[in-house]
Amino acid sequence: MKNYPINLFFSIEFGLSIEANMKLNPTLAPEYEGAALAAFLEQWGFGFCSYFLDNYFAFHVMIFTEIWALGCFLFWGFVLWIVLRRRLSPTKGDLGIIRFGFVPLWLLLTSLSILTWKIQGLV
């Protein structure tokens, strides 16, 4: 029977059985390790600053910490997508996005939040 590819990980036989088209190998390129560690430390630095801003300047409303948490969730989802796409051969662009991509994302989310508050008349 002929296999018809559905996506990267699975193919379906002409019938009802689904079989794995490739083995899921958990090995990653060693370049990802340094970029992920730098991103992790950078995020925790931003998290500490966000928490400090919320507790001492924003009257305990925890807005910047919530923006930071949303940014972390979106960022690591994007990193997972990059890693699944090029697991063994990352490009310099991929490593740069992983290493420094959280800063522009955090700035974008903060700017959009402030813009939304201005449109609503809250600021």
To the question of pTM greater than 0.85 for the whole model, the response is no
Tokens of 117: 């508050």
Q: Among 102, 112, 100, which Cα is nearest to 63's?
A: 112
CA dihedral sign, ordered 76, 80, 86, 87:
positive
Query: Would you kindly state where each structural domain of the chain is located, as residue ranges?
Result: 27-120
Statement: residue 100 has pLDDT above 90: yes
The mean pLDDT value for 18-24 works out to: 49
12 torsion bin: left (phi>0), alpha (psi -120 to 50), beta (else):
beta
Q: pLDDT tens digits for 33-49?
A: 999 999 999 999 999 98
Statement: residue 79 has pLDDT above 80: yes
Confidence of residue 101 (pLDDT cuts 50, 70, 90): very high
Collect all residues with Cβ–Cβ distance below 8 Å to 83 and sequence separation of at least 6. Answer: 28, 32, 90
